[in-house]
Structure 1
Amino acid sequence: MRVEIWSDIACPWCYVGKARFEKALEAFPHRDGVEVVHRSFELDPGRAKDDIQPVITMLTRKYGMSDAQARAGEENLGAQAAAEGLEYRTSGRDHGNTFDMHRLLHFARERGRQDELIQILYRANFAEERSVFTEGAERLTDLAVEAGLDADEVRTVLADPAAYADEVRADEREAAELGATGVPFFVLDRKYGVSGAQPAEVFAQALTRAWDDRPQLKLVADDDAQAAEACGPDGCAVPQP
């Protein structure tokens, strides 16, 4: 079974939602049969790469919040994150364009390190003092290397704006086609969707339902037909005269 998660590194609820989903997945009896794929969704795709603002400033300008409302919202998010065992800096964080991070996540998927990289990017953005936006490619390279990726390959990807750009845009188009208007957005076997950072119990119910509803293979044969010869782990059937 495949679970696809549309998310953005700049999205605090994606950070929290990933932890809640993983709590449900860890307790799921068929977790070894679940493939998790992270998909791209930019909350601010039109933002210029050099347009970096404090999170509080972004919230007041984009959503019309007062400074007090924005700070209270960050404090609430910090409490929600802490309840999931996550670190969260409620002040002093930056907000910026995440397109390069999404390109790197597609590269990381090819190398089998996608989940490691997205968790490191979340931690760097929400828990660490150093900004993932102001320090440029070298900061992203360091984080990618921590996730197990090759530094030279990462630099090559970041130096080419077209590298994995089509994959990011394809994910975003697909999200729109599926009806996702915000993230996190979870799709289970292209059959069930879960929107938002739901409690772990909701994810557990969704996993169970999707697993139970997997299509079961039905063999087609005449009612009176005998089993035909075949090969298996113990060898092949011996033809009978």
Structure 2
Amino acid sequence: MRVEIWSDINCPWCYIGKARFEKALAGFPHREDVEVVHRSFELDPRSPREARPVVPLIAAKYGLSLEQAKAAEQRIAANAHEEGLPYLSEGRDAANSFDMHRLLHFAEEHGRQAELLDALYRANFADERSAFAEGRLVELAVEAGLDGAAAAAVLADPEAYAEAVREDEATAGAMGATGVPFFVFDRRLGVSGAQPSDTFTAVLEQAWESRVAIPLLTDAGEACGPDGCAVPQR
């Protein structure tokens, strides 16, 4: 069985949703027969390449004060911590993620996509040093077990794996996805948002047992979309 996960490195609910899904997958009896593939989805393709502080961006997007935006980040951090994930609620930044997605496709070809995705999430949400700092992506690629020179060559060529990213995004659009994370099980069952692990467990079981191509879309959970990320109420 194949599970495809559309996500963006800038999306905190993708980071949290991945952990919730993996918790469900770890307890799934047929987990060794599940292939997980990560797909590209840019929340804001027009975002500048220059990194900008996250809290002011949240404040501007939602019409919040800086204090309210900080509180929203702290609530997201609390959700991450509940899943055992490190999360910096202050001092993070964000920038265009297209190069990250291109590098993830390069990593997939070399069997290191999962490792690079974990490294990117950690760098973006947990490390003091920005994931968007000069030379940082090459460092993260090396940490993930990739060749540094080859990764640098990919990043230096703006067209390398660019079409693969665009194809992922076009597929997501054709499926009706407007936000991430978005999980698709064997192209038959869909789950939108960072659902609880129990929900992922139920869908894994249904996808395994069901051979009828009737799509199931759960009520949307916390997710990030073009208009921003869901802010938890606790």
SS in 2 for 1:28: coil
SS in 2 for 1:89: coil
Q: 1:161: which partner in 2? A: 158
Distance 1:141 1:92 in 2: 22
Superposed CA offset, 1:126-166 (max 9, x none): 00000011x22x21001011001001110110000000000
Q: 2:202: which partner in 1? A: 205
Distance 1:184 1:85 in 2: 19
Q: 2:11: which partner in 1? A: 11
Distance 1:48 1:145 in 2: 25
Distance 2:125 2:21 in 1: 18
Q: 1:194: which partner in 2? A: 191
Q: 1:120: which partner in 2? A: 119
Q: 2:93: which partner in 1? A: 94
Distance 1:81 1:32 in 2: 26
Distance 2:73 2:110 in 1: 34
The AA in structure 2 aligned to 1:117 is L
Distance 1:49 1:89 in 2: 21
Scaled by the length of structure 1, the TM-score of the pair is: 0.86
SS in 2 for 1:180: coil
The AA in structure 1 aligned to 2:47 is R
Superposed CA offset, 1:220-240 (max 9, x none): xxxxxxxxxxxxxxxxxxxxx
Deviation at 1:21, TM superposition (A): 0.1
Determine if the alignment matches structure 1 residue 174 to structure 2 residue 171. yes
Q: 1:47: which partner in 2? A: 47
Q: 2:136: which partner in 1? A: 139
The AA in structure 2 aligned to 1:63 is Y
Q: Which has the larger radius of gyration?
A: 1
Runs of 4+ in structure 1 over 6 Å off: none
Unaligned ranges ≥5, structure 1: 216-241
Superposed CA offset, 1:156-181 (max 9, x none): 10000000000101111111111111
Superposed CA offset, 1:187-236 (max 9, x none): 00000100000000000000000000147xxxxxxxxxxxxxxxxxxxxx
Distance 1:48 1:55 in 2: 13
Distance 2:162 2:54 in 1: 26
Distance 1:154 1:31 in 2: 31
Q: 1:218: which partner in 2? A: none
- Aligned Cα RMSD in Å? 0.9
Deviation at 1:63, TM superposition (A): 2.4
Distance 2:207 2:147 in 1: 36
Distance 2:30 2:11 in 1: 29
Number of residue-to-residue matches in the alignment: 212
Superposed CA offset, 1:36-77 (max 9, x none): 000001111111222x21000111122222212211111111
SS in 1 for 2:184: strand
SS in 2 for 1:208: helix
Identity %: 62
Distance 2:98 2:59 in 1: 23
Scaled by the length of structure 2, the TM-score of the pair is: 0.89
Distance 2:197 2:145 in 1: 29
